[in-house]
Amino acid sequence: MAGSSVATELRQGVRDVSPIIIGIVPFGLIAGAAGVEAGLSPAQTMGLSIFVFAGASQLAAIELFGQDAGIGLIAITALIINARMMMYSASLAPHVLDFRRRLKLLVTYVLTDQAYALSIARYEQAELGDGQKAWYYLGVALTLWVVWQVTTAIGILVGAAVPPALQLEFAVPLVFLAILGRSINTTSRQVAAVVGALVAVLWALLEVQYNLGLLLGGTAGVLAGTVWMLRGPGVQRR
């Protein structure tokens, strides 16, 4: 793979992200429609999409805005949700250290869960030069950016006309399932996924007062996967 061209990597990035776009489309429609429904103007909703470009935190911010929450609470909530981007950035740093400053800024702006997951997997599987890494990443990330902005705009214009029976919210978990399907490729990761899912689902079924299922599931999954990976003679098999 070392001889592949930057154009080849760009096309590969677009191909790899294409299946995920199926889930991004309704997610973007929700973001656009929810912003207007919460009382934001179309320009404000579109500006939020362009300048923030973070689906989960956008939806959380829109929901809080609709509940008349203070700007401080909205900002803190968005920062907490996006804190995972610091881990993504640290993981990607060795691959982008030699990029030009402007390119690093672009890479930072379009960083998403999907762009990180696909890119880091590609970097681990193939021996690529800096240019190839950059263009693969941009093939994934810029495709996502364009689709997100277009679907958000459509959501602003016609979102209110979408029948509630369509339940577009299903797109959110589907997007992350598409990412996980590519990354759960070792036994320790499979253990982490199963344990994390079981804890999160059990918490939801028990209808406990605080919505901590995702946090507890993630913590339990990481611990279980780590213990499995470090267990005695099996550590070499991961």
- pLDDT tops 70 at residue 237: no
* CB-based contact 177:32 (threshold 8 Å): no
- 116 or 237, greater pLDDT: 116
Query: Which is nearest to 120 in space by CA: 89, 84, 86?
Result: 89
pLDDT > 70: what percent of the chain?
A: 81
Q: At residue 154, what is the residue type?
A: I
Q: Where are the domains of the chain?
A: 6-170, 184-238
Average pLDDT, the chain: 80
Indicate the pLDDT class of residue 222, thresholds 50, 70 and 90: confident
* CB-based contact 156:42 (threshold 8 Å): yes
Q: For 38-82, what is each residue's pLDDT tens digit?
A: 888 899 999 989 988 887 788 878 877 877 778 887 888 778 778
- 141 or 191, greater pLDDT: 141
**Structure tokens belonging to residue 23:** 């889930």
- pLDDT tops 50 at residue 3: no
State residue 127's pLDDT score.
85
State residue 236's pLDDT score.
46
